[in-house]
Amino acid sequence: MEEKLNELKEIQGTLTDLGNASAVLNWDQETYMPPGGVESRGRALATLARMAQEIGTDEKVGKLIEELEPWAAEQDPDSDDARLIVVSRRGYDKAVKVPPEMVAERAMLTSQANAAWREAREKSDYSIFEPFMEKIVELNQRYADLFKPYDHAYDVLLDDYEPMMKTEDVKKIFAEIRPKQVELIEKIAASDQVDDRVLYKFYPEDAQIEMGDEICRAIGYDFKRGRQDKVHHPFSTNLGYGDQRITYRVDENFFNPYIFAALHEAGHAMYEQGIPKSLSRSILYGGTSLAIHESQSRLWENLVGRSQPFWEWYYPKLQQRFPEQTEGVSLEEFYKAINKVEPSFIRVEADEATYNLHIMLRLEIEIGLLEGSIQVSELPQVWNDRFESYLGIRPKNDAEGCLQDVHWSFGLFGYFSTYALGNLVSLQLWEKIKEDIPNLDSHIRKGEFGQLLTWLNEKVHAHGSKFYPQDLVQRITGEKINGDAYIRYLNKKFGDIYGL
């Protein structure tokens, strides 16, 4: 069996190499590629996607998995090799339903759609992106149809990012936490408001990036295996073992967007940097799901980066770097400013109390588009109406409305829910971390993050994608994904800040 296992691993290594090549091309398109390269880049990505699909769905792969399954059943069920066969079976059974031509079509379409989205966002003109959005919705509908019968077409898309999770599961979780978050937001709105003027001063881009580099290094992001580059919409990407990159955008007149995005993307990259080399070039390399990935990024962004102990460590350094901007502003005032709760238009800049409402809105819209109850031509109007219903404010233009996120230009339907699920998981993990490292706050106050990162490496990162997300969360915390810890956290943190 060892020969057959090695043959399967070599095929998966080839697929990993093709995926890494595609990731490099995508990263370059987002960072440095000139606009004139869109068409040829789309063709290159389509070719790589078709090749990978043809190799990965070859009958030989299915036969190898079938022959290895009885052997794997006799191994330690938690071993790398046993889990590789289980995960490979699931991945193969899904992949064979998708023709290579559709995979290539998606790669070509989304390459062009992303370029159109960037132009549309810059001009705040949805009509530029609308024809591509029509094709993306239609492609996702055809893709979902390949997996009939299903309980809901959205299940198919959600499963690509959150394995084994159903639409009804997500709706149920959201239904449980939404009224509790709304109640908290209403209490905060009735309280004395936080003064956040310190955040809206001039913070030079170069100085912000120097600050971000310093903080990302301190928390454990390895720049020998990564780098930062400027883009329209921040993201992290894995270009292969030892190459996990992060990106940023800067607003020189608003402090929050850069630093919290840097912490967020570094959290993603540190997850990938923590996966052992033994899993590289296999189907087990990478995060187990996007919710688990988001739990890592949101943990570093919010539970560390927006915490009082963190700024007890870094605020004196910030005052040295930006003396004029922080003059006369105490640590307590700054801490409250970065945690101000106020409905806002841009998801990535939303506070912790309102953030999940942004996600619930997107879930409703994606399901409506997939079902056909919302037409693509209606998207800006539907977005604005529902946004006003959810958050009490109405976007003034398409850029701060339905064009703010890059995801749909890449065809990523089913993705958004994982952000909110990641918030919930981050707090389930955080409560367990606090049990295991009771003096964690004192470490953070000193700028010492090694113990925390080691815990995450051992409990989360080391497994790669061996275990499905619900199983992994239960292994670590004893519970499946739920919002109880998150609601406790929100009520305690903002109760203290706003004196509730």
DSSP structure class, residue 244? E
Neighbours of 256 (CB within 10 A): 18
Given a contact cutoff of 8 angstroms between Cβ atoms, the answer to whether 45 and 65 are in contact is no
Find, among 109, 148, 147, 106, the residue nearest to 131 by Cα. 109
- Amino acid at the residue 174: F
Element (H, E) at 379: helix 379-391
Q: In what order do the strands lie in the sheet containing 244-248?
A: 228-230, 244-248, 236-238
Q: Any idea what DSSP says for residue 36?
A: G
Decide if 265 is catalytic.
yes
State the helix-helix crossing angle for 450-459 and 417-436, rounded to 10 degrees.
110
- The rounded distance, in Å, linking the Cα atoms of 47 and 28 is 17
- Catalytic-labelled residue, pool 105, 162, 265, 366: 265
| DSSP states of 257-278 | HHHHHHHHHHHHHHHHHTS-GG
Q: Are 404 and 345 in contact (CB under 8 A)?
A: yes
Half-sphere exposure of 57 (CA within 13 A, CB side): 16
Cβ-Cβ contacts under 8 Å for 74 (sequence gap 6 or more): none
- Distance (Å, rounded) from C-alpha 164 to C-alpha 155? 9
Q: Write the CA distances from 19 to 89, 285, 319, integer angstroms.
A: 19, 12, 43
What angle, rounded to 10 degrees, do the helices at 2-31 and 100-123 form? 20
Strands 244-248 and 236-238: what pairing?
antiparallel
248 bridge partner residues: 230
Q: Which residues contact 79 (CB under 8 A, 6 or more apart)?
A: none
Q: Is the link from the previous residue into 149 a cis peptide, with omega within 30 of 0?
A: yes
Active site residues: 265
